[in-house]
């Protein structure tokens, strides 16, 4: 399987072949109306960008992938491992209405027409689709969420709520910082070892000064442990591609955000 890049009226986004049959997309920074430093397709709220520009960017992105911007439900990411079961009562939260939740790094849903939305500017974003039970999930996994097993908990919640068999799940891990650019100190490897044991060692490299970590591979490891075998991983490193993505590690807070979106 592989990721495909699409362009329409200047808007650029990615899809994963493994999620064929469900509406989804991974945004880039191209094709919106936001001014610098959010130029142009900023889909992050609360970053200082004009909210009307953000909403217009959502209209454009949703039109491209075939979802309804009025029904979008936005995560509230705080690098924890809380999973929210989304219903029609949540439609519009984060974009058109205030969010009444303060810690949601992953969401699950089996109601058609509700686009689940998670954010990234280096962190992993993981979209999940169960074609048998007709259910979806979306998770944000920075290194803390990865160590907490956020994707594992998302799969567990889909099983509990919808009867999902992990063997039927399809997972796509979107653009995120790669091991080429994710340098860190000892705290991160220690947390990952505590969570996953020696299995993470192949995905952590010491260069004599810093650790280089492959979080995409480690989140795929979590999924494999849960019984998910159909996994697509985007090769794009957000820090290496400033032409396509914002990277928190490269530019800090003065930036926009990408999203990953999925809807039945």
The DSSP annotation for 95-153 comes to TTB--S-S-BSEEEE-STT--EEEEESSSEEEEEEETTTTEEEEEEE-HHHHHHTHHHH
Residue 202 inside a domain? The answer is no
- Surface-to-core class of residue 49, CB atoms within 10 Å of its CB (0-12 exposed, 13-18 middle, 19+ buried): buried
Residue 210 inside a domain? The answer is no
pTM, entire model: 0.96
Residue 209 inside a domain? The answer is no
Structural domain tally of the chain?
A: 1
Specify the pairing of strand 106-109 against strand 116-120.
unpaired
Q: What pLDDT digit, counting tens, does each position of 113-169 carry?
A: 999 999 999 999 999 999 999 999 999 999 999 999 999 999 999 999 999 999 999
Residue 215 inside a domain? The answer is no
Which structural domain range is residue 123 located in?
3-177+230-263
What is the rounded average pLDDT for all residues in the chain?
96
Q: What pLDDT digit, counting tens, does each position of 213-230 carry?
A: 999 999 999 999 999 999
CATH code at 126? 3.60.140.10
Residue 199 inside a domain? The answer is no
Please list the alpha-helical segments (H only) found in the chain.
Answer: 51-65, 143-148, 150-162, 187-196, 215-225, 248-251
Cβ neighbours around 78 below 10 Å, total? 13
Q: If DSSP codes are grouped into helix, strand and coil, which group holds residue 240?
A: coil
Specify the pairing of strand 170-173 against strand 124-130.
antiparallel
pLDDT at 250: 83
Residue 52 inside a domain? The answer is yes
Instruction: Please name the residue that has the structure tokens 């009562």.
Output: 89
Residue 134 inside a domain? The answer is yes
Residue 40 inside a domain? The answer is yes
Residues of the chain above pLDDT 90, percent:
94
Distance separating alpha carbons of residues 8 and 10, to the nearest angstrom: 5
- Surface-to-core class of residue 3, CB atoms within 10 Å of its CB (0-12 exposed, 13-18 middle, 19+ buried): buried
The residue among 222, 214, 95, 234 whose CA lies nearest residue 173 is: 234
Task: Encode burial over 182-218: b for 16+ CB neighbours within 10 A, e otherwise.
Answer: beeeeebbebbeebbeeebeebbeeeeeebbbbbbbb
Distance separating alpha carbons of residues 75 and 107, to the nearest angstrom: 7
Confidence band (pLDDT; 50, 70, 90) for 5?
very high
∠ CA 118-93-46, nearest 5°, is: 65
pLDDT at 52: 97
For 28-99, strand residue ranges (E) read 73-74, 83-85
Distance separating alpha carbons of residues 215 and 183, to the nearest angstrom: 11
Distance separating alpha carbons of residues 1 and 23, to the nearest angstrom: 17
Distance separating alpha carbons of residues 151 and 220, to the nearest angstrom: 9
């Amino acid at each position: 399987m592989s990721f495909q890049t699409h362009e329409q009226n200047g808007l650029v986004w990615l899809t994963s072949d493994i999620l064929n049959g469900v509406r989804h997309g991974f945004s880039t920074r191209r094709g919106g109306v936001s001014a610098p430093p959010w130029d142009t397709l900023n889909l992050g709220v609360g970053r200082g960008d004009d909210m009307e520009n953000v909403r217009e960017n959502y209209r454009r992105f949703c039109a491209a992938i075939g979802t309804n911007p009025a029904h979008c439900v936005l995560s509230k990411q705080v690098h924890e491992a809380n999973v929210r079961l989304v219903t029609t009562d949540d439609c519009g939260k984060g974009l058109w209405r205030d969010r009444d939740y303060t810690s949601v790094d992953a969401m699950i849903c089996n109601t058609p027409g509700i686009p689940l939305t998670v954010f990234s500017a280096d962190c992993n974003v993981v979209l999940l689709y169960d074609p048998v039970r007709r259910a979806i999930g979306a998770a944000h996994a920075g290194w803390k969420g990865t160590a907490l097993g956020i994707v594992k908990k998302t799969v567990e919640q889909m099983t509990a709520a919808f009867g999902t068999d992990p063997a039927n799940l399809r997972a796509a891990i979107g653009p995120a910082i790669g091991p080429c650019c994710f340098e860190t100190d000892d705290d991160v490897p220690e947390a990952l070892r505590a969570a996953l044991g020696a299995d993470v060692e192949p995905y952590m490299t010491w260069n004599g000064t810093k650790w280089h970590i492959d979080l995409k591979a480690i989140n795929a490891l979590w999924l494999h442990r849960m019984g998910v075998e159909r996994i697509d991983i985007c090769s794009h490193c957000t820090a290496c591609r400033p032409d396509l993505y914002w990277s928190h590690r490269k530019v800090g807070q003065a930036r926009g955000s990408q999203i990953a979106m999925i809807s039945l």
